[in-house]
Amino acid sequence: MWSGDGDIPLYLRVVDGNKVDSAMFGTLMADFHKQWQIHALFVADAALYTEDNLQMIVSFRWVSRVPGTLTAGK
């Protein structure tokens, strides 16, 4: 995760290359929030948009693209 201008890395977590992004995004955002405790806006790709992730980040500000596989996304 980077600062708003994209120049300063704020948080990095190295994981196994076989981990699926959608399984990690909610956890990463929650871990970042615990460490920094700032009112951040999280921007993520469509992998964020899962039921488990949305439940983990219900109190966060975020924006994401709805997956094209969802009817609502079409």
Average pLDDT over residues 46-68: 90
Question: Which pair of tokens denotes residue 38?
Answer: 């700032």
pLDDT at 69: 80
Mean pLDDT of 5-33: 84
What is the value of pTM for the model shown? 0.74
